Structure 1
Amino acid sequence: MTANNEKIALPPATKGTLEFINVIKDYGTGEPAVKGVSFRVEDGDLVTMLGPSGCGKTTILRMIAGLELPTGGQILLGGKDVTSQSAAQRNVSLVFQSYALFPHMSVMENVCYGLTVQKMKKPDAEARANEAIKLLGLTGFERRLPSELSGGQQQRVAIARALVLEPAVLLFDEPLSNLDTKLRRHVREEIRELQQRLKLTCVYVTHDREEAMAVSDQIIVMGKGVITEMGTPGQLFFAPRTSFVADFLSEANVLPATVTAVANGRASIELGDARFEMAADAGAAAAVGAATVALRPDVFTITKDAAVQPSLSAVIRKSSFIGKGVEVVADTSVGELFVFLPHEKLALPVGEEVHLAFPPDEARLTV
């Protein structure tokens, strides 16, 4: 996947290749919902649009589906310009957040619906529907109504109904938001396994960072109508370039710091009462002067030994055991820090004075 104005050699567009070229969507409210967004999704990839409410991710999904037309720019599907085509003219299927199943129709009738609208003969439609029903593990449920199915089963019916249309691109709009936590994890694993097995091109919209990292080849992080960053889940989690992505994806502590020197590929950093060196290209380019450093909550360890460096002197203000570890809020010389200690089993005493040690290589310079 490529974005914006990167000038690199691209492979020829194939059936599921999707491209946005400087796409704008303006509803006339004073500020465009999508502001000149460009990206390319390669055939067979699952790309997630991730971001908070109102960032433009759902508007982009609706423009891919043809439910909204851009105010400017181009949308290419398989190398062909589909910018002005209606939803019915595009080879794209959308799995809705609410499943949008017809309550009076059986599973088989729901899965066949799009094919019957396309005037496919009933025996042919049912044969193709049976393939999708089998693929989604719904054999034996063909005559049941949606009300007789669990939430996970209804989601599978919605996916089967989309798959029978053999779309070039399959779109998911917050597909797991109506499921409980355990079922959400199970269904996202099913979606990812199915996508990889069938080599489907998918665009997936969510505001849930854990869900995005679990299913994606690439993630596009949106903020206020523009692409903030894009990359693999690992790149964005461990090596963000922006404070927004560091905070949004990993709840990183974004802290004011000073770069005191840059030499031989290393940057000397002052962070409160901590002094350390890090790679000068660890995130944003290092330059002497004021800077911003991001440190994930899980990189810290608690120590009483001030000689352990780098570390920040701290006072515990809040501490809670949450089952998988202990969450801590501490006051430091650079402000309030959020720390997660996965191996601790007891909350720390409030008011205790400690030192928060961290590996210098885990620090990231952000913009």
Structure 2
Amino acid sequence: MSKIQIEHLYKRYDNAENDTLKDINLEIDDKEFVAIIGPSGCGKSTLLRCFSGLEEVTKGKINVDGKRFDNIPPQKRSIAMVFQDYALYPHMTVYKNMAFNLKISKFSKSEIDSRVKEAAQKLNLTDYLARKPAQLSGGQRQRVALGRAMVRAPEVFLMDEPLSNLDAKLRVSTRQDIIELHKQLGTVTIYVTHDQAEAMAMADKILIMRDGVVQQYGKPEELYDNPRNLFVARFIGSPSMNILKGTLSNKGIFNSGGVNYDLSEFVKKEVLPTDKREIVLGFRPEKVTQVKKSGDNDTAPENSAQKEGFFVLSASKNLAEYMGGHTLVYLKTKDGVNIVTQTPKRIPNDDSHKKLDLYIRNSNIYLFDAKSGLTLQNG
């Protein structure tokens, strides 16, 4: 049983002017898999190192099962850490690499042998125990690093970009190994990655960070469907959310690029300004319901006007990429805003610059405050 609570945690490095971590508050329940994501330098690896004891906490505290954890010496914390670079001893066999920490901790030979062989079996490494790291593939070396952590029987697994050195195919297969291992062991796993798709696929919950500050914490579907702000909305999802910048009037008219869109039947009263406010309108590429040639149909809007129940945007097609199961269509609006749509249909990569009308249901439209970035309305 390992319930983790991080309360008002700050980290500032010596001689630094600003905090690297700022007022981090986080709860992780027993057996949860939590991914920490964010752009480079946001503090995600620093947070992991504070938990492991490799970095001292400047202010705040970490509790595990109600007991203070951040004041325990690193070597006495019941954790195991897997790094990006594997950190295997090249002169040792797989067996000796996995057994090394247990040997230092004075475990008996029989206990070491039992733990190593059990971990090797779970990780499909039994046939490789006599080999050295140079004789293994990248995926196999990563499994050895996982096995070395696993034999310690920790309460918490910490993983810092463990798949970043693997090619795309190996990343997919190895992340499946990690998920399966997590389920088998039933421990808490805290996993740092820069890949939001990886986090979405693996984690029970995701922590999104920016400039040392938590932007949002929750289940993947919560972050995707109900982002707290524009940063989260654009960080989660691939391709990224499309955005249009403009002004919203007190009558519900959204003006972007000189074109008026009537959102009066869609915008909530509390969002309407007394005069005008700058906002950002967003929609996800896969939420474009229809793509039509402009003017092909008598229901197609003239001059990108609002059609009942839909937000309709006119843009010129630049490129279509057929991906097998779907097509990505890259467009540009009259005022030069780049738009991406994702459709299950095959769109021929011809007739470049042809004008198209994109239909997005009002329920799939997001509105954000332009200054704060906070979400004003979701559908």
- Alignment partner of 1:193: what SS? helix
Query: Are 2:4 and 1:18 aligned?
Result: yes
Aligned amino acid, residue 311 of structure 2: P
2:285 — aligned with what? 297
Aligned to 1:199: 186
Q: Flag structure 2 segments of 5+ consecutive residues without an equivalent.
A: 302-306, 369-373, 375-379
Q: TM-score, normalised by structure 1?
A: 0.88
- The whole-number CA distance in structure 2 between the counterparts of 1:217 and 1:206 is 14
Which sits farther off after the overlay, 304-313 or 117-126? 304-313
Aligned to 1:153: 140
1:265 corresponds to: none
Where do residues 350-361 of structure 1 align in structure 2 (5 Å cutoff)? 350-361=352-363
Q: For residue 335 of structure 1, what is the aligned residue in structure 2?
A: 337
Decide which of 90, 109, 114 is 1:103's aligned counterpart.
90
Q: Residue 59 in 1 paired to residue 61 in 2? A: no
Shift of 1:280: 4.1
CA contact (8 A) 2:320 2:347 kept: no
Cα deviation digits, residues 320-364 of structure 1 (max 9, x gap): 444442231321469332323343242253221111111111112
Query: How far apart, in 1, do the equivalents of 2:268 and 2:138 lie?
Result: 49
After superposition, give the CA deviation of every residue in 1:80-118 in whole Å (9 maximum; x if it has no partner).
Answer: 112232320211110111111111111111111111111
Relative to structure 1, the CA distance from residue 348 to residue 252 in structure 2 (aligned partners, 3 Å threshold; closer, same or farther) is farther
Q: Is the 8 A contact 2:312 2:359 kept in 1?
A: yes
Read off the aligned partner of 1:254 and give its amino acid letter.
I
CA contact (8 A) 1:243 1:254 kept: no
CA contact (8 A) 1:106 1:144 kept: yes
Matches within 5 A, 1:1-367: 15-27=1-13, 28-250=15-237, 251-258=240-247, 270=254, 272=256, 273-276=260-263, 277-278=265-266, 280=268, 286-288=271-273, 289-290=276-277, 291-300=279-288, 301-304=290-293, 305=297, 306-307=300-301, 309-323=310-324, 324-332=326-334, 335-366=337-368, 367=374
Contact preservation (8 Å) 1:316, 1:348: no
For residue 49 of structure 2, give the secondary structure of its aligned residue in structure 1: helix
What is the aligned-residue identity percentage? 34
Shift of 1:79: 1.8
Deviates more, 1:344-353 or 1:222-231: 344-353
Matched length? 345
CA deviation string 1:242-268 (max 9, x = no partner): 100111112101323555569xxxxx5
User: Which deviates further from its counterpart, 58-67 or 348-357?
Assistant: 348-357
**Deviation digits for residues 186-207 of structure 1 (CA, Å, limit 9, x no counterpart):** 1111211221232220000001
Task: Give distance in 2, aligned partners of 1:29 and 1:339.
Answer: 43
Alpha-carbon spacing, 1:329–1:31, altered in 2? closer, same or farther (3 Å): farther
**SS of alignment partner, residue 120 of structure 2:** helix
Quick check: which has more Rg, 1 or 2? Answer: 2
Gaps of 5+ in 1: 1-14, 263-267
User: What TM-score comes out, normalization by structure 2 length?
Assistant: 0.85
SS of equivalent residue, structure 1 residue 219 = strand
| Structure 1 pair 279–197 and aligned structure 2 pair: CA distance change class (3 A) | farther
Give 1:310 shift.
2.4
- Describe the SS at the equivalent of 1:212: helix
